[in-house]
Structure 1
Amino acid sequence: MCLSLSCNLAQARQALPVAPELGSGYRAGLQPVAAKHHMAAAANPLASQAGQRILRAGGSALDAAIAMQLVLTLVEPQSSGIGGGAFILHWDGKRTQAFDGRETAPSQVTERLFLDDKGAPMPFRSAQIGGRAVGVPGVLRALELAHKQHGVLPWQALFQPAIELARTGFPVSARLHALLKADPFVARSPSMAGYFLDTTGRPLAVGTQLRNPELADTLEQIAQHGAQAFYNGEVAQAMVAAVQNHTNPGYLSADDLKQYRASEREPVCGPYKAWQVCGMPPPSSGGVAVLQTLGILEALQRRSARDDLAHLAPVPSATAATLEAPARAVHLVAEAERLAYADRAQYLADSDYVPVPLKGLLDPGYLAQRASQVGERSMNKAIPGHPSGALLTLAPDRSPPRIATSHLSAIDDRGNAVAMTTSVEGAFGSHLMVKGFLLNNQLTDFSFVPQEQGRPVANRVQPGKRPLSAMAPTLVFSRDHGELVASLGSPGGSQIIGYVNKALIALLDWRLDPQQAAGLPNFGSRNGATEVESGLTSAALIRKLKAWGHTVTPMDMTSGLQVIQRDGTGWLGGADPRREGVALGD
């Protein structure tokens, strides 16, 4: 019987049933990829190949990221694309920068955007489908801003892999087919149906060669004229028309597109044992929540050596006698995440609109105080803390999680690094297809309810505001030498934070390689039940957690981790076996 958290990973992978929404299933037996010079890792092999092609041509990590994003627009349209937004962390050997390409709310929206006539929050699908939830796309502006600083190859050259694939075609993947099959709204969108469905109205079969000449034309315009060709002219007009003329119309305007600007922000960085971990600041909650979780876990270790995660590693095979360690690891991480998610819901939002108490939230003394609430039994539901600088007049955001995102990482010959998480929000975004790409429904990441008991929600809808995100692109450094250690991130909606925490603990505390870290069973808590991954978590471990007061929910936890880690003078890469991505290097 498999008892440990990881069970016997090979055995677990072989036995894991394929969840319908996974498409490509859980791929057994993957090994880490080694490289001496450079590496690219993305959620689809064709995107990784594009990144590798750019790196082989002498391009920078940022150049490779651009090429990969453009190919993902074509081959993984359900998750990201030029109609969405992104957060980018970049390391140039001296400093870490954060580029914010998050979508913004159109200038004409109001706080009641997602309330019905009776003032109740509308169902998610009613908000998602159509123009209502479309935010001003930001990914191209962010990539262009970063390219001006860190690009090596010409902007135009970075578009060629995607343009070529759009014209010659690519094979429909098992994951894309499965997601199309599971989505009843595709058939109701004329632009999507004509592209993704066959003449009988069924999703294109796996392996079907799919061409997108309209996207190729769009990309050629942007390649030649820069991002301005997207935010002005016929592409912009088509986006506005699609949003405003839908039966569920939205507020995107030509002026909103013209006025959009990507932002360069200061990354959030903090210590964890021998490492310095850096992530995205607000409007992403990912960096803050990851650092809070790690800070609480380190405080628990200082309280008791028994709680040092390095001594609680999962083992390849286990008996009942060795079950205590992996179960305690899950207990501690889940409790730390409860505390971080409670603070996230209360205090985090677009810092251009809401004063976010970053310093207070990450203060070691505050995190030690939060850690003192972790006991031998689960707290089940944490309440927000009181960090210094916090506005206590705010109400918590109770919005449900959304899932449809992608992550890519790249390291170039010079050691420059990118970690980029990118999204259109829900699967296939708003289901509005314009000029060969899908528009986001990112505004549904705002709280649907603007107030709770008379207090404003920090993440409420406001004109020009960027919705809160859980995206957590992450770079890790050695504290002794400042040397880059790893680049990683994951899709997964509000579970992203837990997926990244798991991978970081696996890499840093448990000394697993990037492929093992990505494939390790997922677990954690979003300040509700303790969530464990169906098919990979033993019944014995679940019983142990329940004995400690946890309410345990086994579930499909479809992370999509891409991980690149330093290995001596070279690199090791790993891709999440739950999706179809790969790491490629030379």
Structure 2
Amino acid sequence: MLPKRFLMLTGLMLVPLYSWGFSYEVPSITPEVGSGFEEKPGWEASTFAVAAANPLATDAGYQVLKAGGNAIDAAVAVQMVLALVEPQSSGIGGGAFLMHYDGRDVQAYDGRETAPAAATGELFTENGEPLDFADAVASGLSVGVPGTVRMLEMAHAEHGLLSWKSLLMPAITLAEEGFAVSQRLHTSLANDTALRENALASDFYYTDDGNPLAVGDTLKNPALAVILRRIAEEGSLALYEGDIALDLVERVQSHPVRPGELSVDDLSGYAALERDPLCTPWQQWEVCGFPPPSSGHLTVMQILGMLDQQPLLEAPLENGVSSSGWLHQFLEASRLAFADRGRYIGDPDFVEAPGGDWTLMLAPEYLAKRSALIGDKSMGGNAKPGNPGELSVSLASQPEQPEYGTSHISIVDEEGNAVAMTTTIEQAFGSRILADGGTGLAGGYLLNNELTDFSFVPEIDGEPVANRVEPGKRPRSSMSPTLVFDQESGELVASLGSPGGAAIIHYTARTLLAMRDWGLNAQEALSLPHAITLGGDVFVEEGRFPDDTIEALRERGHSVSERELTSGLQAIMRLDDGSLYGGADPRREGIVMGD
């Protein structure tokens, strides 16, 4: 069947005729407070909806859908605007995973960054010892070959309805005319110290006396406007070859403290990939997510699969808050899943799946054995990986290290096509390297620090770590863009995902449970308080849990402390009458728009 677009027969080739009818209008939108917690109403829509982390980005996607574009078209426009207005989280200098449903098939587009050809397992070591994480991040060493633009171009070439050039116009217009600095961008700038060390970024994002741009200040980005115009005209080649690529490489290789070895050949040789999605039956639903190099889907579904085999200790919700009994089981399942994650998951082009099949990690009989390890008391930091399948090479478990960053986009168009896309430059402001594309103009785009998602330690006691650094390899990710379907009818149920580093896994798993089992709509599910563990200590969202819940967890042996857990969940669900209902995380400044 031909794609849902007009086609022209030229010789023996079918050539897409893109619609050029999209005309962008700058909206009069001021983002609400995006730091802290602010209740969101939830949004209803009849035919289409788009959810993103900034109102200007959401509106760009909305205008694309309103003009007859589809979910892929809207994703392109949304991402390019996010690169401008939410530069701390994602952009053209980073990578992304995109799940797409075209009404028949689910596809997984991989725009993950890659390590340079010169990279070795000792990339983040000095004198045989791992670098301090913060020192590794703010350096040329941490920059991987960006993949977002090439991946979006790949998806658009296959599915897009509107012209590539027109989809970049919202971001170009806002970069040229300026946008109001949001509370969240201001707060991120104020809280960061390393960005100020980059001369280009310091001049652009801070005043002469070192203060961050104020909320409401109009910020123009002429360098990014020029770069995006080049990408609009020339496609991804404008970023991966020529003067823009040379500028990127120069900034990485000339870092004043820790230069990297990324090369022009690394850039020109980058390829976005289409991978086979992982679609997992889960009671009445089928949950489709991203395969390795993402650990997201496998770890989310391990947690959910283990919980399905646990006895119900008490009602999961008590007065709108997760009960201590349910939290105990959730956290223990997380410990076991993260133990498997740390041992087995890495780039599948470099790492063997247990038993040669990643889905063995989700086999019901295997998860039953893992679930049986959950007792009345916490296992603390002693969770061990299981054995879902034999390996030809014995692997060591990766030591725990920080993960950050990211933004999520969910879209459903009027034809029922859907996108779940999680996009990142890793930590806030990435490597803290701003590149102006050689334009000499103010502003530009930030380069990722995605290589710090690799293990800093390549091997332990002579056994390799699956997620060690290797040339051309894609670092393991936690990003979990998710599409959900009804098993019986095959109809789309939801699109969702979140930023949040490794905690993305907890945020996504808990949201799926709340939507399937607890009778909550998308907004109610996103607003629930968070609790996470990466295997050791437990962190609960500050000020959101009763003291007796926290104390009950401690009595079960959990080491608990409170902290800010700033997810950025977006979700769009289809209701029983066929309409849509969207939610945006109250911890960030995003909204949902639709008709």
Distance 1:447 1:225, change over 3 A: same
How far 1:511 sits from its partner (Å)? 1.5
Determine if the alignment matches structure 1 residue 459 to structure 2 residue 463. no
How far 1:110 sits from its partner (Å)? 1.1
Determine if the alignment matches structure 1 residue 492 to structure 2 residue 500. yes
Q: Please give the alpha-carbon distance, in whole angstroms, between the structure 1 residues aligned to 2:42 and 2:246.
A: 45
Equivalent position to 2:334, from 328, 337, 340: 337
Q: Please give the alpha-carbon distance, in whole angstroms, between the structure 2 residues aligned to 1:493 and 1:389.
A: 29
Q: Please give the alpha-carbon distance, in whole angstroms, between the structure 2 residues aligned to 1:182 and 1:359.
A: 41
Contact 2:35 2:187 in 1 (8 A): no
Equivalent position to 1:314, from 305, 313, 317: 317
How far 1:24 sits from its partner (Å)? 2.4
Equivalent position to 1:356, from 349, 353, 366: 353
Cα deviation digits, residues 11-38 of structure 1 (max 9, x gap): xxxxxxxxxxx97233433211000011
How far 1:453 sits from its partner (Å)? 1.3
Q: Please give the alpha-carbon distance, in whole angstroms, between the structure 2 residues aligned to 1:482 and 1:401.
A: 38
Q: Please give the alpha-carbon distance, in whole angstroms, between the structure 2 residues aligned to 1:97 and 1:265.
A: 7
| Alignment-derived partner of residue 38 in structure 2 | 28
Q: Please give the alpha-carbon distance, in whole angstroms, between the structure 1 residues aligned to 2:39 and 2:363.
A: 41
| Alignment-derived partner of residue 49 in structure 2 | 39
Q: Please give the alpha-carbon distance, in whole angstroms, between the structure 1 residues aligned to 2:391 and 2:44.
A: 45
One-letter amino acid matched to 1:202: N
Runs of 4+ residues deviating >6 angstroms: none
Q: Please give the alpha-carbon distance, in whole angstroms, between the structure 1 residues aligned to 2:565 and 2:586.
A: 12
Q: Please give the alpha-carbon distance, in whole angstroms, between the structure 2 residues aligned to 1:133 and 1:294.
A: 33
Cα deviation digits, residues 504-531 of structure 1 (max 9, x gap): 1111111211111111001132111222
| Alignment-derived partner of residue 293 in structure 1 | 303
What's the secondary structure of 1:98's corresponding residue? Answer: strand
Q: Please give the alpha-carbon distance, in whole angstroms, between the structure 2 residues aligned to 1:390 and 1:268.
A: 21
Q: Please give the alpha-carbon distance, in whole angstroms, between the structure 2 residues aligned to 1:417 and 1:313.
A: 30
How far 1:389 sits from its partner (Å)? 3.3
One-letter amino acid matched to 1:363: A
Determine if the alignment matches structure 1 residue 478 to structure 2 residue 486. yes
| Alignment-derived partner of residue 160 in structure 1 | 169
Q: Between Structure 1 and Structure 2, which shows a larger proportion of helix residues?
A: 1
Cα deviation digits, residues 367-409 of structure 1 (max 9, x gap): 1111111122222231000111345611011141221111111
Cα deviation digits, residues 65-122 of structure 1 (max 9, x gap): 11010000000000100000000000111111111000000001111110012x0001
What is the percentage of aligned positions where both structures have the same residue? 49
How far 1:57 sits from its partner (Å)? 0.6
What's the secondary structure of 1:186's corresponding residue? Answer: helix
| Alignment-derived partner of residue 81 in structure 2 | 71
| Alignment-derived partner of residue 564 in structure 1 | 572
| Alignment-derived partner of residue 61 in structure 1 | 71
1:63-212 equivalent positions in 2, closer than 5 A: 63-117=73-127, 119-212=128-221
Q: Please give the alpha-carbon distance, in whole angstroms, between the structure 1 residues aligned to 2:472 and 2:404.
A: 23
One-letter amino acid matched to 2:572: I
What's the secondary structure of 2:124's corresponding residue? Answer: coil
What's the secondary structure of 2:411's corresponding residue? Answer: strand
| TM-score, normalised by the number of residues in structure 1 | 0.92
One-letter amino acid matched to 1:71: V
Q: Please give the alpha-carbon distance, in whole angstroms, between the structure 1 residues aligned to 2:139 and 2:374.
A: 44
One-letter amino acid matched to 2:234: H
| Alignment-derived partner of residue 256 in structure 1 | 266
Q: What 5-or-longer segments of structure 2 have no aligned partner?
A: 1-31, 437-443
| Alignment-derived partner of residue 322 in structure 1 | none
Contact 1:84 1:139 in 2 (8 A): yes
Q: Please give the alpha-carbon distance, in whole angstroms, between the structure 1 residues aligned to 2:66 and 2:326.
A: 41
Contact 2:532 2:540 in 1 (8 A): yes
How far 1:256 sits from its partner (Å)? 0.4
| Alignment-derived partner of residue 8 in structure 1 | none
Cα deviation digits, residues 237-278 of structure 1 (max 9, x gap): 110111111112101111001100011001112121211111
What's the secondary structure of 2:130's corresponding residue? Answer: coil
| Alignment-derived partner of residue 432 in structure 2 | 431
| Alignment-derived partner of residue 552 in structure 2 | 544
Q: Please give the alpha-carbon distance, in whole angstroms, between the structure 1 residues aligned to 2:160 and 2:413.
A: 11
Contact 1:23 1:178 in 2 (8 A): no
Q: Please give the alpha-carbon distance, in whole angstroms, between the structure 2 residues aligned to 1:152 and 1:312.
A: 47
One-letter amino acid matched to 2:82: L
| Alignment-derived partner of residue 374 in structure 2 | 374
| Alignment-derived partner of residue 281 in structure 1 | 291
One-letter amino acid matched to 2:315: L
| Alignment-derived partner of residue 321 in structure 1 | none
Q: Please give the alpha-carbon distance, in whole angstroms, between the structure 2 residues aligned to 1:373 and 1:398.
A: 22
Q: Please give the alpha-carbon distance, in whole angstroms, between the structure 1 residues aligned to 2:430 and 2:353.
A: 28
Contact 2:81 2:170 in 1 (8 A): yes
| Alignment-derived partner of residue 5 in structure 1 | none
Q: Please give the alpha-carbon distance, in whole angstroms, between the structure 2 residues aligned to 1:110 and 1:36.
A: 52
Distance 1:28 1:128, change over 3 A: closer
What's the secondary structure of 1:37's corresponding residue? Answer: coil
Contact 1:23 1:176 in 2 (8 A): no
What's the secondary structure of 1:282's corresponding residue? Answer: coil
Equivalent position to 2:58, from 24, 48, 54: 48
| Alignment-derived partner of residue 414 in structure 1 | 415
How far 1:546 sits from its partner (Å)? 1.6
One-letter amino acid matched to 2:202: A
Q: Please give the alpha-carbon distance, in whole angstroms, between the structure 2 residues aligned to 1:238 and 1:413.
A: 41
What's the secondary structure of 2:308's corresponding residue? Answer: helix
How far 1:424 sits from its partner (Å)? 0.4
Q: What is the aligned length?
A: 551
| Alignment-derived partner of residue 217 in structure 1 | 226
What's the secondary structure of 1:299's corresponding residue? Answer: coil
How far 1:339 sits from its partner (Å)? 0.9
| TM-score, normalised by the number of residues in structure 2 | 0.91
Cα deviation digits, residues 177-235 of structure 1 (max 9, x gap): 11111111222111101110112221111110000011011001111111111111111
| Alignment-derived partner of residue 19 in structure 1 | none
CA RMSD in angstroms, aligned pairs only: 1.4
